[in-house]
Structure formats: C-alpha cells, structure tokens
Amino acid sequence: MINATDRSGKCLFTNAYQSALFDKSPDEMVGRDFTTFLDTTQADNSNRRNTIVLKSGQPIPHYEEKINSDGVQLIFHCNKSPLLNHKGETIGVLTTAVDITARKFAEEHRTHLALHDMLTGLPNRVLLAEKVREAIDICLRENSQSALLLLDLDRFKVINDTRGHHSGDTLLREVAERLSNIIGAKDFASRIGGDEFAIILNEIDGADSINSRCTKILKAINEPYSISGMEQVIGASIGVSLIPHDGVEYEEVLRLADLAMYDAKANGRNCHRFFSEGMNQIAQADAALENELRDALSQEQFALEYQPIVDAKTLEYVGLEALIRWDHPSRGRLLPVQFIRVADDTGLMDHMGKWVIAEVCRQIRTSADEGVDLPRVAINISPRQFQNQNVCDEILKNIKLHNIEPSKIVVEITEELLLDNNEHVSNSLNRLRRHGVGISIDDFGTGYSSLQYLRDLPANCLKIDRTFVSRIEHSAADRAIIGTISHLAHALDMRVIAEGVENDAQLELLQVSGVDEIQGFKIARPQRAENLKKLFDQQRYTNRSAEG
C-alpha cells in the first residue's frame, strides 16, 4: 500500500492496492484530501504524523495501523518518509504499508497456544502465574483477599487405565467446561497439567464464601459424565491458599495450595482443605526426612526383621513376614510407620522395595547354607512398586540369582492396589503364581473387599486385619466377620492368616473361627536376621523331643 501527499495533505499518488481498499481507482483519489478516505481517528493520526515528518524532515518508521475493509479488520506495518524534490526540499509525505494481517493472526495464535492448554482450551500454568501475581498486586493495593484453589481429580488414573486415554481426555474436557461455567466472571480457571486444575477466586468475603464456592465446584464435578455411552462418576480434592494471608509470591501460594490439596486427599478425598501452618511444618519435616532417607539408602542403614507366622492348631512355624527397619544413626531403630509415607510419596520406596526383595532372597539362601530351611517369607509390595517398576522381573530375577524355590516367597498386596491397577496387577500376579510364588491379600476387610477380585485373582491367602482381631473378645459382629471370611476363603481354596494376635483369649477364639495361621506378639515378636537360626533350631529340637 503506497501513497504520497503534498504539504496540504492532497493525494499526489496512490497504487492500485491502496485505492482498492477504499473502493476507488487511483485517478479518483489523486488531487483529493487523503484524510477524506479515512475515519476520524485515522485521519487525526495521519495528519499528526505528516506534520512531524514535514517539520523534522525525518521519517517515522515502524508503526501499525488498522484499516477496515468490507467489514474485515486489516493490520498494516507502516512507514512515513519525507517526499523530496530534485533540490532535496521536503514537498510532501510518502507513506508505505505492508499488510501483516496473516502474520499478526499467526503470532496471536502462537501466543494463545503458549498460554493455553491444547486439550481443554483453558489457560495453562504460564498464564496462571501471571494471573496469580496480578491478584497478589491487587490484594496488596486494595487490602482485599483472593484464594488460589488447586484441584486434583480423585482416581483419574483408574479411568485412563481401564477406559483408555481417549475417555480420560474426554472427561478432562468436560471437567474444564464445568469449571468454566461455575466460576464467577472475575474468577480464573486453568489446567496446569495431567488431571490438575487451578482456580483463582477473586473478591471473596471470608472463609464461609470460599467454603460455599468449593462445595459448588465439587458438586458440579461429582455430577455423572457420559463417556462413550457409559456413565462415569469422579470426585476431586481441593487445596486452598489465601492471598495475601498465606503468601505474596506466586510459587509460595501455589506450594501451600498443593500441601492443602494433599491434605484433602489424606482426609478421605472429594473434599477441600485450607492451608495451615501445621502443614508447612509437616512438609519441612518430610523434606528433611527425605534427605535422611537418601543418605540411609546410600549408607546401607536399613535392615529386615522377620515376624513368625504359626499354624493355628499346632503353633509350629509355617511362615515369616519381612519387615523393614531403619537403623537411624541418632534415633535408633525406626519402624516403617515413622518413614514409609515419605518414602512412598518421594519415590524412594522404589529403591527400598528392590532392596527388600533382594535381601529376603539373600537371607533365605544364607540360612539354607547354614542348614536352616526357612519357611515361606512374605514381602509387602506397595502400589507404587507395581506402578513404577516391573515387580515380577525383580522377584523372579532374585529367586534365580540366589537359587531358591519360588514357593519360599509370598507377595503381600493391599486391596487399594487391586482397585487402582486391576488389569495390570492381575497379569503380574498370574505370572508370579505360574512360577510358584505365593500371593496374599493383606489387611483384608478394611478396604474395598470386592468378591470379584477374590474370584478372579490368583491369591492363595487372605490376611485378616488386626482391627477385627483386636475386637474379637468383645464383639460378636467381629467374630462373625472373621468366621465368614474364613469360610469364604476356604471355599476359594485360600489360607487365612489372622495378624495382631496379642493374648490367649484372642488366640482361642481365632482357633475356633476357622483361621489357619496366626501372627502377632502372642506368638513372637519380629526377629532380627541373626536370630533366625536359633529360632528354628529350637523348633527342630522341640519337634524331636515331642517325637521322642
């Protein structure tokens, strides 16, 4: 687009592209005041720039101008330069402009993609950071309050694993749409990765307002979804940090909302929790403990103890359960309850789990070389180990490496693992059973206790949780539950182990309830590895004496 005007603003020349934008021919425009073809704002801007060029004799490069043509807004990259005669005198202004509409559209599109999630169309983490910082500035300036909500879908992985990623993506888009529809006009929603969303609630009026808004958000998410013709229900856990009360830095308020969200998950899921300073103290303690655990792994501070399992009738040793212990350099020998949660959350459980598998197999081999034939040893396998490593390969590799019978190993799993990873777990457990490894379902009765899992999975043992055993003396209902579990397990050709047996009364009641094996302090406390030879030597001596 090219045009030239004289000092009075009359058109001296225009090219065909320029005149076509105004639906004129070049001849119709030459000799007329050029500003008559422009709207008022454009005319004023053109006159102002022309005046600068005529007075200074210097060009004005690189400015953008928007022009409407047939209802379409075009964007031009423009330059104005002095128009000189043969004497070098400025006699007018030469304006050139390049149509950059397509380029600007592409740039805006790229900017949109850089700031938005491609799957849901919601703003992404980059734009969230910008909006949180804006909210912090406004709150500090106006003495107001906002809230950052971090929302994580509960058990979304189950949907991805069982229904496929296409169904998972469909669900995420519907969740995003519901969030967009329920938040206020001044609020902000984004997807920041995976099944995690963030919401900024602006202009809030105290905790009651936030509670009400969170309840509405959860209610909207809890409504059933139709995914590929099937109904799906899902929940969410929400963590809340207050701006500026909890922090005045983006990274800090996000971190605190994240802590609160994990607290919501730990307190039953499908709820919301506000950040509290206690959470921060726990997080700091966990971070310190994580560093100590890493040192413990590298410095070989872990050890195993073995708790005996006996036959309910003869009280002879028929098994052991391997229990990890941490020989802390300053706090002494620590139990799993003091460090397992942090190990699991940080991924260190993967390394610890591999070590336990290898150490159990090594101990069975070492005992055999010393003339002690240990009974089967149960190893607790966490859900995380099944998710992050090939447990089958790890177990079978160590069985072969230490040349032990596969039947010497029992894998203990929890009902939560069965729910979250049904198909994957089923395939893995079937493979282990085909090789002769035992499968035990731990803490039975406290989780989901699906009879379908008992029917379809190759478990050959159920472990009744200690909570039922602890009440058996005073609760007819618990005695009935234990009896029913025993009857059911025997019908499915499984053994039943009762754990947490601590006195004679519990032992006698369990013996008549049909339980096959007993474990607990009444029988024996966990034994250090170096005591196993002595323990089983005593049993052999007792057995020989009884036979004599």
At 117, the pLDDT band (50, 70, 90 cuts) reads confident
* Band (87; pLDDT cuts 50, 70, 90): confident
At 546, is the pLDDT very low, low, confident or very high (cuts 50, 70, 90)? very low
Q: Which residues contact 238 (CB under 8 A, 6 or more apart)?
A: 149, 150, 151, 214, 217, 218, 260, 261, 264, 271, 272, 273
Average pLDDT over residues 303-322: 94
Contacts of 507 (CB under 8 A, 6+ apart): 501, 518, 522
Q: Is 391 exposed, middle or buried (CB count within 10 Å of its CB: 0-12, 13-18, 19+)?
A: buried
At 198, the amino acid letter reads A
Q: What's the average model confidence in pLDDT over 503-509? A: 93
pLDDT of residue 502: 92
pLDDT in tens, 89-113: 899 999 999 998 888 887 777 776 7
pLDDT at 279 over 90: no
Task: Report the pLDDT averaged over residues 204-231.
Answer: 88
Of the candidates 134, 127, 138, the one whose C-alpha atom is nearest the C-alpha of residue 190 is 127
Structure tokens at 446: 């406290």
Mean of the per-residue pLDDT values of the chain: 88
The residues, ordered by sequence, that sit 6+ positions from 522 with a Cβ below 8 Å of its Cβ are: 501, 502, 503, 504, 506, 507
Q: How far apart are CA 240 and CA 255, in angstroms?
A: 10
CB 416 within 8 A of CB 446: no
In whole angstroms, what is the distance from residue 160 CA to residue 416 CA? 17
For the chain, give the longest Cα–Cα distance.
133
Question: Which H helix or E strand runs over 102?
Answer: helix 101-115
In 370-406, which residue ranges form alpha helices assigned H by DSSP? Answer: 383-388, 391-401
Cβ atoms of residues 468 and 482 within 8 Å: yes
- The pLDDT tens digits for 319-351 are 999 999 999 999 999 999 899 988 988 888 889
Looking at mean pLDDT, say which of 304-308, 447-451, 475-479 comes out highest: 304-308
Whole-angstrom Cα distance, residue 379 to residue 354?
11
Residue 28: Cβ within 10 Å count: 14
Is a pLDDT exceeding 70 seen at residue 446?
A: no
Judged against a pLDDT cut of 70, whether residue 283 lies above it is answered with: yes
What is the pLDDT confidence band of residue 548, given thresholds at 50, 70 and 90?
Answer: very low
Is the model's pLDDT at 419 over the cut of 70?
no
Q: Is 379 helix (H, G, I), strand (E, B) or coil?
A: strand
The amino acid at residue 410 is V
Q: DSSP character for 15? A: -
Mean per-residue pLDDT for 219-234? 86
Amino acid, single-letter form, for residue 219: K
What pLDDT does residue 387 have?
A: 67
Closest CA to 418 of 440, 390, 396: 440
Task: Compute the distance between CA of residue 403 and CA of residue 365 in angstroms, rounded to an integer.
Answer: 7
Structure confidence at residue 267 (pLDDT): 80
Q: Which residue has the tokens 């069985």?
A: 399
Alpha-carbon gap, residue 283 to 256, rounded angstroms: 10
Confidence of residue 539 (pLDDT cuts 50, 70, 90): low
Question: What was the pLDDT predicted at 449?
Answer: 52
Distance CA 148, CA 238 (A): 10
Eight-state DSSP code of residue 447: S
Between CA 6 and CA 45 the distance in angstroms is 16
Strand-strand pairing, 230-232 and 495-498: unpaired
Number of CB atoms found within 10 A of residue 122's CB: 23
Per-residue model confidence (pLDDT) at position 71: 76
Residue 405 pLDDT exceeds 90: yes
Peptide bond into 82 cis (omega under 30): no
Confidence of residue 439 (pLDDT cuts 50, 70, 90): very high
| Nearest-10 Cα torsion for 500, 504, 506, 511 | 100
The model's pTM:
0.61
Pairing verdict, β 438-444 and 409-414? parallel
- Average of per-residue pLDDT across 166-188: 91
Pairing verdict, β 146-154 and 196-201: antiparallel
pLDDT value at residue 545: 47
Using alpha carbons, select from 413, 375, 407 the residue that is nearest to residue 391.
Answer: 413
Q: Tell me how far CA of residue 498 lies from CA of 11, 72, 536, in angstroms.
A: 100, 78, 22
**Helix H or strand E encompassing 339:** none
| pLDDT for the residue 134 | 94
pLDDT at 104: 83
Phi, psi of 419, rounded to the nearest 5 degrees: -70, -45
Residue type, 204: I
Chain length of the chain: 548
